[in-house]
A and B are shown apart, each in its own frame.
Chain A
């Protein structure tokens, strides 16, 4: 059975939306971070689908780069969250707002 392209894109869109909602509504910095990763994975899914549709591997190569980026971002993100946690003893985004106005 071949899954039609637009089904996969719809799933990808849905996944992306879940990620966006997660970013907007979760208060833990870590979970927000995971939500961003969900967004990126949604993009990966779209790339793979399009890549197969077009019969070119460019899209899949892009997926590798996105995965690498995701890893790098997680590494840096975790480091920053840890540093912040050491100083503030919290990773709750609603409590991190010293810089404003």
Chain B
């Protein structure tokens, strides 16, 4: 069974090579088909392996395949080994499943683009790298995937290179990711130094009870966390993700929503044992996660570019996942990772369909009333919006609720992480429905000469499939409180650490759990309601007022006061906060910092260049300077 593991990565690699090297001999359409077939192949192999995994007893669910002994000398032993366990199974299926739909969708979305072979080549290369990342058993291979996906992301963002801004967006993504990678590499070398192995499974075996300094695990996990933060766009390294939306929308869906950005979460869960030995890091992860979730959600409320809203929403949801793993609810984090991949890919592809239908328009202010023009897109998007808002019955509800429950029991009761988490849930519902109403309802605000049209079926079919997944994806993990058996949690249990706290251990937590579920549902519905009031009802009301003016004035004024009150007490502060966060925190502080450091390095580079005067005697003086330095060092030392 396990000897077919390599096929998972082989297919996309072949696809990449064919599209990359033989590109000039194949047609545009063949190129897309080859790429899609490659991913389909991986999907089928992964699915078959998953079935094989399920056929085994829980504690024996692991396939490994030694590809080759990379460096087997003495105490230096590095094997290239793939590992297929429940965690990998979830990740591969998400990557290949969502990836396949996005490949197919691209057939329509990218039609006619001159660089389509290159596009598919990189998309396949990305899939290959991402699969390596999740299949790797040792850190070097994981790092290869890690760097590889970053590289592909960099190349794909800059895909439409004619645009100066897009090229710069690629650069920013690149620089921020490098900061994160520094942490990763140093952690890797430290771990290797400590344990003499880079295999994560061996490391886990040696970690417990290892004779290390008190801070070793804290330092190493913090360094890994820096890497995870960079890749998963968390505070303070999140600025690159909104800019990365410059890439084609399917790329945003695949790389910047469903797969690559979740690599940070995956990394933490994969090394959950190391992290669980470092409580300080865990607390940091939770804090960073919840703060990111909350801040990004407030920023999303005022964005007017449809993709930017989704980008901040992605950051916010990734924050949710970080929060989950930070409080020790590792399986909940992965559960949300999966459901998020479904509904966020759906939302992005839906947004892509809208943009496609409006000939490239991305401003929410120029949409509206598309419900009947694009019915397929409308319904599927609605499902995505409902799922992300945590409306009961859809996938997002189950995963979000498990995270909130994890946060609640983390400190045995109400705590700030849980509170911020639940507020974020409300905000999420609010801004997602704001987006929904602004796009599909209300008066049409697009210019008269555009004729919005439904996208071709090659694009709507993936949307439909994703919509099913967004609904049904949650049912693999129905919590016990709702009468389910939380299959998902039990499935992952052998590979992740579970936390035990007082409440979780209490005999009957069901009423409490149900209560919390009710609370979060109410908060979400509240968010939906206010979005409805402000973005759906009020504009209509304003028109009415304009027509009838005085007679209904009192009534409308009363209503207006309600809204005014809401505006003043709830929305305004949030909007202010949002603007503040966006303006100060994001644009000036972080963005400014990144840009400034890039600029100052470039300036430094210029200064050093000027030293290179071309004059021999200047060079000789520098040599003499070096001589003097060495002589001084020797006399002093």
Contact = CB atoms under 8 A, between A and B. Distances in A.
Asked whether A and B interact, the reply is yes
A86 interface: no
Contact of A100 (B612, B621, B624): B612
Contacts of A100: 612-615
B117 to A, nearest CB: 39
A41 B260 CA distance: 65
A89 interface: no
B548 interface: no
Contacts of A94: 615, 617
Contact of A98 (B614, B620, B621, B624): B614
Interface string B610-626: 10111111001100100
Given A24-B621, A101-B610, 17 more contacts: A23-B617, A23-B620, A24-B617, A25-B617, A32-B617, A93-B615, A93-B616, A96-B614, A96-B615, A97-B614, A97-B615, A98-B614, A99-B614, A100-B612, A100-B614, A101-B609, A101-B612
Nearest to B621: A24
A66 interface: no
A5 B267 CA distance: 67
Contacts, number: 32
Contacts of A97: 613-615
A20 B624 contact: yes
B370 to A, nearest CB: 55
A93 B614 CA distance: 10
A31 to B, nearest CB: 12
Interface string B586-629: 00000000000000000000000110111111001100100000
24 contacts: A20-B624, A23-B620, A24-B620, A24-B621, A24-B624, A25-B617, A27-B617, A32-B616, A32-B617, A93-B615, A93-B617, A94-B615, A94-B617, A96-B615, A96-B616, A97-B614, A97-B615, A99-B614, A100-B612, A100-B613, A100-B614, A101-B610, A101-B612, A101-B614
Contacts of B614: 96-101
Closest 8 CB pairs of A and B: A100-B614, A97-B614, A101-B609, A97-B615, A93-B616, A101-B612, A23-B620, A100-B612
A55 to B, nearest CB: 28
Contacts of A98: 614
A34 B303 CA distance: 72
Nearest to B609: A101
A33 to B, nearest CB: 11
Interface in A38-68: none
Nearest to A21: B624
Interface string A63-101: 000000000000000000000000000000110111111
Contacts of B613: 97, 100
A24 to B, nearest CB: 6
A37 to B, nearest CB: 15
B605 to A, nearest CB: 11
A87 B181 CA distance: 50
A20 B626 CA distance: 14
Which of A25, A32, A96, A97 lies at the interface centre, i.e. has the most chain B CB atoms within 10 A of its CB? A97
A28 to B, nearest CB: 12
A11 B617 CA distance: 25
